[in-house]
Every structure is written in C-alpha cells, then in structure tokens.
Chain A
Amino acid sequence: MKITVLLFAAAREIAGAESVELDLPLEASVADARAALLLSLPGLALRTNALLWAVNNEYAADDRILHSTDVVACFPPVSGG
C-alpha cells in the first residue's frame, strides 16, 4: 500500500520536500514506515531515533499498524511556545 508521510521542520528541510510516498506491505507498522523512510531518505539517518510519528493527528508508537487511509506524519521533537 502507498502511504504518504507528511514531513515538518528539520525533517522537511533535510528531505527537501513536504511529504514523501512510501510503498509498504499491508499491515505495516510505524516501525516499518520508519525503516522505509530511512531507506528513501538516508539524510534523515542521524535523526531517525529522535523523529516522532503521528497517525490521524495523534502521536503513534512504533507498533501502531498503518492503514492506507491514515494520515501519517513524521517530525522532530516539538519546540513551540
């Protein structure tokens, strides 16, 4: 299944794009998406462990299973305020 991952802040700048499309197996998890993202964008490697993931506007842990209709985002720790 195709999953579009929205990117923000330093992740967006390193990727040079506001989103990236990943081709993942059915029932792939956030951890699988993280591994695929790293293959697609090696420049994110140094930050991979620090990157947070969100699914449908809520933070998601590595074992969260993804569905093709999910809105998925990946970004560094937040620094608002």
Chain B
Amino acid sequence: MIELTQQPIDYSALTESVRSHQAGAVVLFLGTVREFTGEAHTAWLEYEAYPEMAVAALQRLEGEVRRRFTVTEAAISHRYGRLELGEIAVAVAVSSPHRSQAFDAGRWLIDTLKECVPIWKKEHYTDGATEWLHPEATPGCSQDPDSETTREERSP
C-alpha cells in the first residue's frame, strides 16, 4: 500500500495494514520534523511533491522491495504541504517472517525513497530565513531507476 497525502499520517493504521499471520516481525520507521539541525533552528517545514511521479516511484519501490527481500507486506505513506515540529513526514512499515529481513527491507525502503522519490523539503527557520534542501545529485537513481547495483552498494 502506498499513499501520498496532505493529511496527518495514521501510522497505527499503516502498521496494522502490514500485519499478517505469515509474518513474525513488523518494523515501522517514522521520519519526523526535527527542531534543531546543528545551530539551525527550524520553525516548520514545507514539503513539495511532483505527485504523479512520486506515486509512480513509490509504487515501483513497493514492488522492488518484494523482489529484493523476503517481505510479507510493505506500506509507505509520505505527507506533503506544511508540517509543524514533531509531525510525521514519512512512515514505512514492513512485515516479514523474521526480523532481520524486516529491518533490512525497511532500511532499504526509506534510504531509496530519500534518493529517488520526487519530493522536496524547504526549511523555514525561526529567524525567518528559508532554504531548499538539495543533496548531491543521485545518478544511480536518476539515470537508471531499475539499476540493480548502485543502490545496494551505496553506503548509508
């Protein structure tokens, strides 16, 4: 199940959606709005999405995680729009027969989401300054979305 929403993320429902008698392990990751990054004091965050492509990219991730790991169910929800401190920007839930696959699959999902899904974060600081956060380009994702090599070998 994948979701791109402007509403608060119901992580309980997301977690329940991956629970199953076939799974002995469920891992939930939440990405939340942090107040301090070093000296920088965040007031709120604005997330912008390219919705059509973001949904397509999330669907591709959901399919790929099942090919790479022993996953029973996987669910991803990403929010966009204005988010206040502490609010949940992204939730990833994975179930698997055993915990190591659940942890590995969840880690791969959130790491790859951050590299590939077209969503952007704009910091609004308490001093009134604003800043788009743009990491270095990710050629492994941008040039070959189905690459089998670059993503697995990239260190966190």
Contact = CB atoms under 8 A, between A and B. Distances in A.
B53 A52 contact: no
Interface string B55-77: 01100000000000000000000
B31 A81 contact: yes
Main secondary structure of the interface of B (DSSP, over half): mixed
A9 interface: yes
A57 B120 contact: no
A71 B52 CA distance: 11
A16 interface: no
Given A50-B137, A75-B120, A81-B90, 7 more contacts: A9-B48, A9-B122, A10-B132, A58-B145, A59-B142, A61-B143, A80-B121
Interface of B: 31, 47-50, 52-54, 56-57, 78, 89-90, 110, 113-122, 132-138, 141-145
